[in-house]
Each structure stands twice: as structure tokens, then as C-alpha cells.
Structure 1
Amino acid sequence: MPKDPARGDGPVVRHDRDDARYVRRGPESPAATPTATPVDEPRATAGTAGSPAVGTAAGAPPGGAVPAAKRAARRPGRAVPIALIAVAALLLLALAAFATTLIVVSQQAEGNPFRDRALFVDPDSNAARAAEGSGSDEQREAAARIAASPTAIWLTPERVLPGTASATVADTVAQAEAAGALPVFVVYGITDRDCGGFSSGGLPRDEYLDWVDEIADGLGDRRSIVVLEPDSLALASECPDPDARTALVRSALARFSGTGAAVYLDGGHSAWLPAAAMAESLRAAGVDEARGFATNVSNAQATDDEAAYAARVSEALGGAHAIIDTSRNGAGPPADGEWCNAPGLALGEEPHALDDRVVDAVLWVKPPGESDGTCNGGPPAGTWWPEQAVELVANADRLAGGS
């Protein structure tokens, strides 16, 4: 690992999928775990339609215990107008609250995009091909185990060439639609991707946005999930021009506005940036125009820690939603902070939707069994690594068995 100068209040370490660096910090102030409530149920707002104004019961005396008859005697002819004014005021409050409710509902019109939807299992994933390919029985069995679970489909310009992206994505979405399933894509081709790390690459700005346009065209108005540029925001301060990177993420996000995609921006993870700093970056990247943000992508932080972190980020943003990558966090993060192809990892919780105020779903965003890069004996980033797949499955089985 390069001996980079320390940043913030801890040593610089490297993030695993695309080798982004992060600071291991002490725990932030504790926050309550998000309450498990239906996500498409509008949140309570002050002054709900039909409720009296806060602090004043409808029809309560305005100044104390003076009997109504005496008040009428002191102010002859005013009791009826005052009552009418009070009724009108309550009606106006009710209308205002109803309008507020409509706004909340319109922002979450479709609710949790994962609810009651099966997730698409890519029949042509690296794991699926490995399960049918050469290798030992143990390697094929591990690959088949991983291939049976839905994982995100990574779109990179190296794999999905510019000029072919629209047709490639449209074909995948059509397969998912025919299967009655929801596809999850990761768009990963931003300019100066990974800022020179093991997953370096990407396209020049204009070519990148054209490529994203192709992806959006391929998605069309059919439902899908897009995780947009993991690490792009959390890593921005390590890149030559953080503001330009954030602006580029915002421009890419705008390309999906006319599609059926629910988009989640890069939300780092609980051991990287503080929640307030991550929220600030997300806001600058236009998260208010997205469904929310993704945490723990390609990392191994514990799910409970990520849920608490997501709740803090969401609160700072005024209610953005989140997804958590659980593909390799079954054993939690390595104690030594290993950043790339760390030994001892295990498959995490299977992908599924949640009934949670903040977290929409846990997903396998990082395809298990694919290398983080040429570190700890691994092949280039994104390449299928049979030995790692075997270890992930074996460790998950061991943990499940309690041994």
C-alpha cells in the first residue's frame, strides 16, 4: 500500500472494490437504529390534515377560564364572527397540512422500489460461467452457490463499450422483465475512476456522459435500480479536482431523470467519512434528485453499523433512502483494516427488501468472488477468482454452523 500522508484523525487505509482510501475513525455519536416501518408510508408531519393546531385545542378558550356567557356579554355581537374566524383558520390549517401530505406522498409515490419485487439473477454472470467451467468440484460448487443469488451487474466502459451500451442494457432489462424481476446495475466509468488506484480507468468527461446517455436509453421507462459510481464522492477529496468530480456525478445523475430507474449515489461507509461530511457531498451531487445513496459497496462493515450510519446520513439530508451492500460482510471487517482482497471475509446476508424508514434493501452490489485488484495474490480488479469464492462460501458456512 502506498505510504500516503494521514488524513483527518486517523491513518489512511484503502477501500477494497476499487481501492478507494478511507480513514478509520472512532465511532460517531450513537444514533438509534432506523425504526422498521413501511417505507412507502408518508412520514408524520406537523399539522396533519384534520388535526388541531399544535398547542391549541379546537375551541379552547383563548385566555383562561372566563365563562363563555361573560365573554359574550363583554363583547356583544362578536362571538359568532370569532367562531367563524376560528373555523376558517382550522380549515386553512387542514388544507395546508393536506398539501404538505401530498408533497410527501409525491416524493415517495412508488415507495420502496424493491418491495414485492424479485431481484434479477444474471444467467451470464462471472459466477454462472465459472460454475459451468473448468476448476475443481469445490470451486464450481462455490461459484454455483454465488451464481444462484442476485448480484448487481457492473457496467464499465471496458466491458460495455461506448456505442454498445444502449443495446446491452436494453437486452438485460428485457430479460429481467420477462422473468418478472428487477435488475440492479452499477455504473462505473467516471473520468479518472479510482484516482489512479487498482480500478483506475474511466472515460473523458464528454465521452463519459455520452456513455451514460446510452445506458439511460437502454433502461427506458422500465423499472430498474442504478448504483451510480461507487466511491466517486467519498473518494473525491483524494482526487485532483473534487468539485469537478462532484459536478460530473450530478450531470450523470440527471441523465436518468426520464427513466424508470431508482438511482442511489455513492454513500461511502461507516468507517470512512463522518455522516455529516458524506451528506454534504451527496447534497452537492444532487441526491435530492435520486432515490438515495448506497453504503458499504465492496466493503465489509457490519450491517448494523451501516444501518446506523445510513440513518445519520439520511437525517442530515432530510430523509434520503439507502441500500447496504452485504455481499462480503458476513464476518465483519478485518481487524487489521486490510483494504484489498482481505482474507477471512464471508458472504453476508442474502439480498432482500426491508420495511425500514431509511434502508430500502440489503444487496450484493459487489459480486462475491471477483477480485479487488492485484493485491494479496489476486488477479486484476473485477476478474473471477475461484480461490476467493471458495473462501467466502466456506467462511459463511462456518459462521452459520457456529463452529
Structure 2
Amino acid sequence: MSRTDTAPSRRRTALLAAGALIAATGATATAMTTTAGAAAPGCKVEYKVTNQWDAGFGANVTVTNTGDPVSSWNLEWSFAGNQRISQGWNAAVSQTGAAVSARNVSYNGTLATGGSASFGFNAAYSGTNAIPTSFKLNGITCNGATDPTDPPGPTDPPPTGGKVDNPYAGAKVYVNPEWSAKAAAEPGGSRIANQPTGVWLDRIAAIEGVNGGMGLRDHLDEALKQKGTGELAIQLVIYNLPGRDCAALASNGELGPTEIDKYKTQYIDPIAAILADPKYAGLRIVNTVEIDSLPNLVTNTTPRPTATPNCDVMKANGNYTKGVGYALNKLGAVGNVYNYVDAGHHGWLGWDDNFGASAELFKQAATAEGATVSKVHGFIVNTANYSALKEEHFTIDDSVNGVSVRQSKWVDWNRYTDELSYAQAMRAKLVSLGFDSGIGMLIDTSRNGWGGTARPTAPGAKTTVDTYVNGGKYDRRIHLGNWCNQSGAGLGERPKAAPAAGIDAYVWMKPPGESDGASKEIPNTEGKGFDRMCDPTYTGNPRNGNNLSGALADAPLSGHWFSAQFQELMKNAYPAL
């Protein structure tokens, strides 16, 4: 991974749920009374069971205000059976006995006359799962008829049709058995060995399997077994561009800068052919497309002071843009494929000079080689990186003694302090450039937990802006530009769907325990070089402010198992294991 130059009309909802079958069974309730001089107080509620399995179900609720505008809302109902809500999203859902209360959250409290808000939840039940027939919005009763259709059962067939809004919603996510076995073999590793991680196709040979390991079809076949009768998403990393990772060395690839035709015919085309096999049509296949490629063309090319000759070559020949466009077009033509394009991270693209230019370049790639923006389902940030999900002890708008947080050495005039704010802002920018208003973001949280004893519990001292930021920041790296096997890093938020507005999922796309790069030069046949940023004795370069690298010692080649890193990540996990 390289770094940096230092200078919704449709809301995605739901959480991961085991063995879900999508359907549209539900209830609609309406009521209206008349009051002179004001809109008729009333409401309309649509309650849909969206997925159901043996002992649980998921539901989506849309409430429409038909009365006067309100600045906050509370929807109440009672279950007729023993349903017990376990998770909710886009509302603060609580339950006492059979009575349920769903209150708005910070971003959806205002309902104009005719305005709607949607939220969802997962729940357990046994016996029957009767749909509620009576609702109250801020005390106003919404009575009406119900849809008599039976809720979907675990033996019902899966739906047919186009893509779902969020491939992670209501679905299990594939657990790579090869990674899982390595994790389980580590002391304490069984605590996370069942987590879903990305399957990295980082060279042509990986399609068939390397050194007797699983190939793409093997993973897809195993995904079908894990799927059972429910829904399942499998995460693939498309990562083999010509001249790959032009500003780094540890993650260089097998293809030379000009080998775009080989990339197309020997890498992308075979992958597309396998994914298009009707055998796999019932899987939700999530592709994360070409990590770290396009941002390098913005930040590490002439006239930037961080320019490298290799990145200048890739910008001049256009093969990054062509390769990404070709991959999006070919893979996106498969009906059950969801393409997410890499969008760097806040410590790379969060500066004014980088942010807009990168978004424009993403649009250019998404319309190259026959691709269109419709082939992009979303974007992924922080892949294989360490940027904190959310810094809670300071904001970009804070100041100390009249000095803005943006002027601190750590923030260094960046517009963003963490990945969540960056991802949401990048999403808005991309929509403004013509991407679908429903695109969703993924955030890789596999190594950004920053827990353990070094995790601050309060803001830093307000002596100076630097003491304030450095004392309170969760991200404990020496510099935001440090990207290789970072000492002190921890596992972050566990994978989950729809955790925040505009975010399709938190994911572990980078499998914890797989090295970023070797600490010293190791001869190999994988095309991977030695990058001094992986050497703990390295004193740095302009891209990390000429600081120490912060890397762990004795690391193997990128992608190879690194036990010491795995143990470090578990020790410093936040939330703790």
C-alpha cells in the first residue's frame, strides 16, 4: 500500500443476518383525522419482513408523516407473538415485553408533511411471526389493513431479478477456510477464525490456485456450501494491474507496465468467465477493484514532490485507467456481481489537492473501456490500511488557543480526521459527479482498532493544538504515511452491514495476519520487491514526513502469514476480543 501527498436518495439499510431469504411480505397501515387550520394528523406505516430463517427474521419499516411537519418521531407498536428484537439500524429501537419503540436518530428526525423515514431490525422468534397491525407515530394511531401473504420461510425459493441495494444486507459473508485455518492455529485465534475476509486474486496463477491452494472455483464452490438456503456474499479482491502499486515496492505485481492485453485476456477474462457460470448465480459476488492504483496517479506523479518515475509511466500510458475500466465492464456484466472501486483513505486523499482530483479520476476510469458508472456499485476505503474509523476526542472544526486542528502536525491541513467522515464525504462527491445516488461505501476495519493500553480515553491537554490532537487520537502511528505492518495496531470493528449512513458494510478485506511486505529483501518469484517502509530501521521519505516507518521486524513477503502481526492485532483489538 502506498500513501499520500501531504499538502442520498436511496438509503442502504440492514445488518448481517444468518441464512436470510429476501422477500416483500408485510403490512400497511394508514389513518387520518381532520383538524381545522392544519394538516390532518396521521401517518402511514409499511412493515415488511425482508428475510426469515428458522429462529429469526429481519424487517424493514417505512413511516410516512401525513400530518404537520415534525422535528423528531417515535413509532410504537406491539408484537402479537414472542418476537424479540436483537439489532436495529437507522432508528433507536427498544423493547419492553411485547411493546416496541423506534425513535429517530440524529440524521432522520425531521419529517415534513408527506415525508418518510425507513429503519430496520433483526429479531428472534419461535412459533408464528404475526405481523403487527397497529402503529402509533408520536401518539397518533395508524390503523389499517394488513397484507395477508404469509411471511417467507426457510424453505422458500430465493428471489429472482436484479441486484439488491446492499449485497451485505440480510446475508452471511464467506469465510475463507484457508485463512480461517491459519487463524485458528494461532494461540487465541479461534476467537476470530470465523470472520469473513477477502479472497485476494493477486496474480494469474491465483485463479487456478497457488501451490496446491484453493483457486477461484474452489472458493465459489465452498461459498455455495456455506450459503445453504439463505443468502451469502463472497468478497474477491481484483489486484493485478500492469505496473501495480507504482509508488511502492513490496506489493509490486507480475505484469509489466505495458502488459495491458495480458491483464485483459489472461486475468480479467478468465475471472469473468468463471463468475458468469450459472452455477454461481445465487451468490452475491463482491469485487473490490484494484487497490491503490488510481490514487497513485493523482498524488505520486509529476509535478508532485512525491512523484515517482513508475507512477509517471502509468499515468502517461493510461493502463491503470484502462485496466480498471475493462475490469468494471467485464465483471459488471455478470448479473450477481457488485463492483466496489478502491478510493484510498483519508490519510492519502483527504487533502484539498487530492480529494476532488481523485474523484474525477474515478469517474474517468468508470467510463473507460466500455464501462459506465452503472457498473460501479460503490467504493471501498482504507483497504489494508490503518486509519482510525472514527476519532472521538477531536474534530476537524476544533481549535486550541485560536489554532485550528487542521494546523496540527498530525492532521497537517487535511479535511478529515478519520475514515468514516472521509468515506461519507467521498460518497457525496462521487454522487455529485454522476455516480448513482445509491452507491454505498465499504470501510476496511481489519487493522484500525488501535486498542490496548495505549488507546486514549480522553482528549489531549489543550496546551497546544499538537498536545490536544496527539494526546487524544486513537491512531497511534508515528505518521499517517506509515502503511507497512504497523506496530501497535489492532483489529477494528467486526464485519457488519449498514453500520452508518451511506456505508454498506465494515469489512475485513485485508485478512489479518497477512504481511504488508518483507522487512528485508527476500528473493521470490511473485514479482514482489523490497520496500524500505517495511524496515523498522528506515528513517523515512517525503511521503511519511521523513519519520521512522513504525513497521514490525522480521516480516515475510506481502500476503504471506505473519504470526507476530496476527498476535499484535489480537492484543490491541478494539472492540477488545
CA contact (8 A) 1:247 1:285 kept: yes
* Secondary structure in 2 matching 1:144: helix
Deviations 1:86-115 (A, max 9, x none): xxxxxxxxxxxxxxxxxxxxxx95211110
Counterpart of 2:347, as a letter, is A
Counterpart of 2:168, as a letter, is F
Stretch deviating more after TM superposition (323-332 or 170-179): 170-179
Q: Which residue of the other structure, out of 333, 337, 345, is the alignment partner of 2:475? A: 333
CA contact (8 A) 1:142 1:389 kept: no
1:196-211 residue pairs with structure 2 within 5 A? 197-203=249-255, 204-210=259-265, 211=267
Provide the residue aligned with 2:560 in structure 1: 383
Provide the residue aligned with 1:60 in structure 2: none
- The reply to whether residue 256 of structure 1 matches residue 308 of structure 2 is no
- The reply to whether residue 123 of structure 1 matches residue 163 of structure 2 is no
Q: What is the alpha-carbon distance in structure 2 between the residues aligned to residue 227 and residue 142 of structure 1?
A: 29
- The reply to whether residue 285 of structure 1 matches residue 365 of structure 2 is yes
Counterpart of 1:225, as a letter, is V
Deviations 1:318-341 (A, max 9, x none): 133210000000014334123211
- Structure 1 residue 37 displacement after superposition: 4.8
- Larger proportion of strand: 2
Counterpart of 1:263, as a letter, is N
CA contact (8 A) 1:191 1:208 kept: yes
- The reply to whether residue 22 of structure 1 matches residue 4 of structure 2 is yes
CA contact (8 A) 2:251 2:558 kept: yes
Q: Which residue of the other structure, out of 222, 225, 236, is the alignment partner of 1:175? A: 222
Alignment root-mean-square deviation, CA = 2.6
**Percent identity (aligned):** 34
CA contact (8 A) 2:207 2:271 kept: no
- Structure 1 residue 142 displacement after superposition: 3.9
Provide the residue aligned with 2:168 in structure 1: 114
Q: What is the alpha-carbon distance in structure 2 between the residues aligned to residue 23 and residue 355 of structure 1?
A: 30
Gaps of 5+ in 1: 1-18, 26-33, 41-107, 133-139
- Structure 1 residue 147 displacement after superposition: 2.3
- Larger proportion of helix: 1
CA contact (8 A) 1:236 1:246 kept: no
- Structure 1 residue 346 displacement after superposition: 0.2
TM-score (norm 1): 0.68
Q: Provide closer, same or farther for how the CA distance between residues 335 and 123 of structure 1 changes in structure 2, counting only shifts above 3 A.
A: closer
- Structure 1 residue 39 displacement after superposition: 4.3
- Structure 1 residue 163 displacement after superposition: 9.7
Deviations 1:203-248 (A, max 9, x none): 3211211211111222224421110111011122431222331122
- Structure 1 residue 156 displacement after superposition: 1.4
* Secondary structure in 1 matching 2:576: helix
Q: Which residue of the other structure, out of 356, 364, 369, is the alignment partner of 1:276? A: 356
Q: What is the alpha-carbon distance in structure 2 between the residues aligned to residue 35 and residue 342 of structure 1?
A: 39
Q: What is the alpha-carbon distance in structure 2 between the residues aligned to residue 343 and residue 163 of structure 1?
A: 31
Gaps of 5+ in 2: 15-161, 301-310, 367-372, 391-417, 432-436, 451-473, 519-533, 537-552
Stretch deviating more after TM superposition (359-368 or 252-261): 252-261
Provide the residue aligned with 2:383 in structure 1: 297
Provide the residue aligned with 1:91 in structure 2: none
Provide the residue aligned with 2:570 in structure 1: 393
- Structure 1 residue 21 displacement after superposition: 2.6
TM-score (norm 2): 0.48
Provide the residue aligned with 1:233 in structure 2: 294
Deviations 1:336-395 (A, max 9, x none): 123211100000001010164421000001111111112232111111011111111011
Provide the residue aligned with 2:33 in structure 1: none
Q: What is the alpha-carbon distance in structure 1 between the residues aligned to residue 10 and residue 501 of structure 2?
A: 6
Q: Provide closer, same or farther for how the CA distance between residues 163 and 352 of structure 1 changes in structure 2, counting only shifts above 3 A.
A: closer
- Structure 1 residue 157 displacement after superposition: 1.1
Counterpart of 1:228, as a letter, is V
* Secondary structure in 2 matching 1:185: strand
Provide the residue aligned with 2:243 in structure 1: 192
Deviations 1:109-137 (A, max 9, x none): 52111100011111122x513534xxxxx
Q: Provide closer, same or farther for how the CA distance between residues 258 and 37 of structure 1 changes in structure 2, counting only shifts above 3 A.
A: closer
CA contact (8 A) 1:35 1:357 kept: no
Q: Provide closer, same or farther for how the CA distance between residues 315 and 251 of structure 1 changes in structure 2, counting only shifts above 3 A.
A: same
Q: Provide closer, same or farther for how the CA distance between residues 145 and 244 of structure 1 changes in structure 2, counting only shifts above 3 A.
A: same
- Structure 1 residue 145 displacement after superposition: 3.2
CA contact (8 A) 2:245 2:293 kept: yes
Q: What is the alpha-carbon distance in structure 2 between the residues aligned to residue 39 and residue 131 of structure 1?
A: 32
Q: What is the alpha-carbon distance in structure 2 between the residues aligned to residue 384 and residue 109 of structure 1?
A: 35
Q: What is the alpha-carbon distance in structure 2 between the residues aligned to residue 365 and residue 163 of structure 1?
A: 19
Q: What is the alpha-carbon distance in structure 2 between the residues aligned to residue 36 and residue 343 of structure 1?
A: 40
CA contact (8 A) 2:442 2:504 kept: yes
- The reply to whether residue 347 of structure 1 matches residue 491 of structure 2 is yes
Q: Provide closer, same or farther for how the CA distance between residues 111 and 35 of structure 1 changes in structure 2, counting only shifts above 3 A.
A: closer
Q: What is the alpha-carbon distance in structure 2 between the residues aligned to residue 36 and residue 307 of structure 1?
A: 19
